[in-house]
């Protein structure tokens, strides 16, 4: 058992991206934040499944070319091998929870020139 304080961690890109509160041994748990018009490169996982639960703001999560407009209180589940791309097309910041399981140290494969 352990306790993590969110304020002790930092977002990957300063004011945006994932802020991992836990990485492994069985899953990842992160708070993810994007400012208006920021995105995260299209990618997929071969083993891990990913969930996003929207806390604040609105966000577009594109999965295999289908645009999903999400708002607070909604969760999207992404299966292994589904290409996903996240972009904040909303009016302000978006904050969400991300979980990835089962934990695999290297399981992110970028998709170049992804169009939706």
pLDDT digits (tens, 9 = 90+) for 64-77: 999 999 999 999 99
Res 108 pLDDT > 90:
yes
d(CA 39, CA 53): 16
Domains of the chain: 16-106 (2.60.120.10)
How many of the other CB atoms lie within 10 Å of CB of 5?
7
> Dihedral (C-alpha) 22, 24, 27, 32: value to the nearest 10 degrees?
30
DSSP state letters, 49-78? EEEEEEEES-EEEEETTEEEEE-TT-EEEE
Whether the pLDDT of residue 115 is over 90: the answer is no
What dihedral do alpha carbons 88, 91, 97, 103 form, nearest 10°?
Answer: 10
């Amino acid at each position: 058992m352990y306790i993590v304080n969110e304020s002790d961690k930092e977002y990957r890109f300063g004011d945006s991206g994932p802020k991992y509160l836990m990485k492994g041994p069985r899953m990842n748990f992160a708070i993810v934040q994007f400012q208006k018009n920021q995105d995260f490169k299209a990618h997929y996982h071969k083993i891990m499944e990913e969930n996003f639960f929207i806390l604040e703001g609105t966000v577009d999560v594109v999965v295999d070319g289908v645009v999903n407009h999400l708002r607070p209180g909604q969760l999207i589940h992404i299966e292994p091998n589904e290409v996903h791309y996240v972009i904040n097309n909303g009016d302000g910041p978006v904050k969400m929870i991300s979980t990835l399981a089962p934990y695999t140290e290297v399981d992110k494969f970028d998709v170049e020139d992804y169009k939706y």
